[in-house]
Amino acid sequence: MNKIPADQKKNLTSLIIPKNIEILISSTGGVGTTFLMFHLNKYKKINNPNDRDQFKHIIFPPLSHNKNIKYVYIFGNPIDSVISLFGRNFHYYHSSKIVRFKNTVKPIPQDKTLEEYASEGIDRFLFYEQFNNWLTLSKFYPTLFLRYEKIWENLETLYDYLEIPREEIVSFPEKKERKSKFSTLDKKTQTGLKNIYGEFEQYLAGFDDCFIVNKRKNSLVPGIFFNDSFYYTARRVVAQTLLNISPAFLNYLENIYFSKRK
């Protein structure tokens, strides 16, 4: 077997969900995911709010051996997300996580400004690709899609979905206004961001603020979804169609996966 690059080995941690995780929460980034995760972590075992396990912004929904797991995917206005990420100097760090499986896409340089990014005319955060990956690949586990701007109007649905008593809603954090606003940008930057994300904004506007993909009860999910043969096939399909990774890395992934399964 060919030697596997160290950075690709590290990426394996984002493909294997620990069995003890009850709720996987992920998002595009720049949509208040952290505050939501720290709050929900009081009630459920979730992935790491500080993203030490690299699930928080993964570009596609990973697989899990926990047949009772539920996913939550947070999305929101892409332009506001970009402004937020650049405003907090997270643009390099965040884009690095998003593109780590994409050999043909490089992270956004740390010294690049929002104005320079907007002038390029390219979505280097891969928002559209990530959203559609989650929308089309959320086939095996219930996945709640929740628009950040409307979280507070959909708390009852969120709590019911996560099986948290509605009485706990009173402790949910109050909504805060974004510090970075589109209206404060110069016209050239506004135009650049609209050119990149205007079509995606319209696309997202066509979705409900809160909806569930795959509502079937876990007890009705065929057992084949959780056996080794299914996972072997599913991971190979994901690797070949989404990750475009080398055959050597794919074999390494399968070896690691099955060793953890035992």
Range of lowest pLDDT (11-20, 115-124, 135-144): 11-20
In the chain, where are the structural domains located?
A: 10-221
Tens digit of each residue's pLDDT (9 = 90 or more) over 39-76:
999 999 999 999 988 899 998 888 787 888 999 999 99
Contacts of 47 (CB under 8 A, 6+ apart): 17, 21, 23, 24, 25, 26, 37, 53, 55, 56
The predicted pLDDT at position 133 comes to: 87
Q: Average pLDDT of 187-208?
A: 97
Average pLDDT, the chain: 81
Fold of 10-221: Rossmann fold (3.40.50)
Return the pLDDT at 177: 81
Pairing of strands 143-147, 210-213: antiparallel
Q: What's the token pair of residue 211? A: 């909806």
Say which residue, 84 or 245, is predicted with more confidence: 84
Whole-structure pTM value: 0.80
Please check the confidence at residue 236 and state whether its pLDDT lies above 70: no
Instruction: Answer with the residue of higher pLDDT: 103 or 23.
Output: 23
Kindly state the tokens that stand for 191: 């135009």
Amino acid residing at 192: G
Kindly report each contact of residues 241-247 with a partner whose C-beta sits within 8 Å and lies 24 or more positions away, as own/partner: 242/59, 242/60, 242/101, 242/133, 243/101, 243/102, 244/101, 244/102, 244/103, 244/104, 245/8, 245/101, 245/103, 246/2, 246/8
